[in-house]
Amino acid sequence: MAEILQTPERPTLAFQHTPGDGPTVIFLCGYASDMQGAKALHLEVWAKGQGRAFLRFDYAGCGESGGDFESETLVTWRDDALRMIDHVEGPVVLVGSSMGGWVMLLAAKERPDRIMGMVGIAAAPDFTDWGFTMEDKLKLLQEGRLEKASDYSDAPTVTTRGFWASGEANRMMVRPIGFDGPVRLLQGQKDKEVPWQRAGALAELFHSDAVQTVLVKDGDHRLSRDQDLALILRALEDVIALCSSPSSS
């Protein structure tokens, strides 16, 4: 059963915390996703086996958390991530999937003293810019809401004008990213959601030299096959090792 975090003036957040050695690994879900996904659960099993601190959670309006999905924005979900970071102690490594990769960058900007490393899985920063057609953007502005068929659910994917505006106001790939820790970016080249070339463009923006981009030629957006999950774990272990090395301090 999920634990519940309550803070003033915001919906409750459901989360699962595995205690263990630090840095704490925090998984950040994609858009309209929740903490029951294959990657989050696989990382939790790994963490328990390694005695590693790990946390997965649902953004407000998603999964078991309180709130209304269509009332939330990129910034409120960033703030949910910050609430989780502040809930644990010590250094943190963020693993961001799809939109979670955008939230990861925004959270690291707000907590530079806490975030030691990052792993992006099909990271999708700034997708409100490149992920919508001009017709989509006009409909959002005029009607305030956009529905699109989903490859992952029978229900359509809903985007609100509030979320889109929040994304446009918080783009990360318009300037250098002042993060100095280790970063691994995993990207499938058969990803229909995120153009694979964006991973390399994102890597170039980091101030850190400890950045590697891994392209999976036959990988899709989810990167949830057994071989993909093994690759994610290797990347995460690499980042943790670099965070723990004397040269990184």
Catalytic amino acids?
Answer: 98, 191, 221
Q: What is the pLDDT of residues 173-201, one digit of tens each?
A: 999 999 999 999 999 999 999 999 999 99
What are the tokens at 243?
């965070």
State the helix-helix crossing angle for 74-87 and 99-110, rounded to 10 degrees: 60
* Minimum mean pLDDT range among 148-157, 173-182, 201-210, 234-243: 148-157
User: How is residue 59 annotated by DSSP?
Assistant: -
Q: What is the pLDDT of residues 12-66, one digit of tens each?
A: 999 999 999 989 999 999 999 999 999 999 999 999 999 999 999 999 999 999 9
Q: What is the pLDDT of residues 201-233, one digit of tens each?
A: 999 999 999 999 999 999 999 999 999 999 999
Band the pLDDT of 7: cuts 50, 70, 90. Answer: confident
Band the pLDDT of 152: cuts 50, 70, 90. Answer: confident
DSSP string covering 134-154:
HHHHHHHHHHSEEEE--SS-S
What is the Cα–Cα distance from 61 to 71, expressed in whole angstroms?
8
Alpha helices in the chain (DSSP H): 38-50, 74-87, 99-110, 127-130, 134-143, 161-168, 197-205, 226-244
What is the Cα–Cα distance from 72 to 74, expressed in whole angstroms?
7
Cβ proximity of 31 and 72 under 8 Å? no
pLDDT of amino acid 154: 82
Cβ proximity of 152 and 224 under 8 Å? no
What is the Cα–Cα distance from 42 to 233, expressed in whole angstroms?
9
pLDDT of amino acid 51: 97
pLDDT of amino acid 247: 52
Contacts of 171 (CB under 8 A, 6+ apart): 125, 126, 128, 129
153 pLDDT more than 90: no
Q: What is the pLDDT of residues 82-123, one digit of tens each?
A: 999 999 999 999 999 999 999 999 999 999 999 999 999 999
Cα distance from N-terminal residue to C-terminal residue, the chain = 37
pLDDT of amino acid 248: 47
Q: Which CATH superfamily is domain 3-126+163-244 in?
A: Alpha/Beta hydrolase fold, catalytic domain (3.40.50.1820)
* Minimum mean pLDDT range among 36-40, 111-115, 137-141, 152-156: 152-156
pLDDT of amino acid 1: 83
pLDDT of amino acid 22: 87
pLDDT of amino acid 249: 41
